């Protein structure tokens, strides 16, 4: 059964979800799991690519973009447009849509920000995952 965790981010800072995604990715990576970061578009993929190198002093998370046909040994992949040909144990979804191939992952992290449209979308995602038989949980995240 797929475990889906919704992280409700209490952050007004622009791109707060992306910064939280970096912290979450670092934690997952250090635990030895592989991660696929699903973004809204190529522009967001590029931001995530940059952020993973710079979000915290001294952090090092080897990663690659999905379109670059990454080395199989790289544990963190970033991509958009449902490029889920990449293998991963954890999906971090930054996109407004649920990726069609979400069932390939044992864990999913949905990141929710304060913006009303994104919150409404997250509620729809929550109902969808629950109706599909996924185990669903919600977590409040503050700065």
pLDDT tens for the chain, 143 residues: list them: 899 999 999 866 667 899 999 999 999 999 999 999 999 999 999 999 999 998 888 888 999 888 876 677 889 999 987 665 666 799 999 999 998 889 889 999 999 988 888 889 999 999 999 999 999 999 998 76
Domain assignments of the chain as residue spans, ordered by start: 3-142
Write the class of the CATH domain 3-142. Answer: alpha beta
Please state, in angstroms and rounded to a whole number, the distance separating the CA atoms of residues 136 and 124.
13
φ, ψ of residue 68 to 5 degrees: the values are -90, 15
Please state, in angstroms and rounded to a whole number, the distance separating the CA atoms of residues 92 and 72.
19
6: β partners: 110, 138
Strands, DSSP E only, in the chain?
3-10, 35-39, 64-65, 76-80, 90-93, 107-112, 135-142
């Amino acid at each position: 059964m797929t475990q889906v965790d919704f992280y409700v981010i209490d952050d007004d800072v622009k791109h707060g979800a992306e910064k939280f995604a970096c912290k979450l990715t670092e934690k997952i990576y250090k635990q030895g799991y592989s991660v696929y970061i699903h973004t809204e578009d190529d522009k967001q993929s590029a931001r995530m690519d940059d952020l993973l190198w710079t979000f915290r002093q001294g952090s090092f998370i080897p990663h690659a973009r999905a379109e670059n046909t990454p080395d199989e040994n790289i544990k963190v992949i970033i991509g958009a447009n449902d490029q889920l040909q990449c293998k991963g144990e954890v999906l971090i979804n930054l996109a407004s849509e649920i990726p069609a191939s979400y069932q390939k992952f044992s864990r999913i992290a949905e990141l929710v920000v304060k913006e009303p449209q994104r919150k409404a979308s997250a509620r729809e995602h929550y109902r969808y995952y629950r109706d599909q038989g996924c185990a669903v949980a919600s977590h409040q995240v503050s700065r």
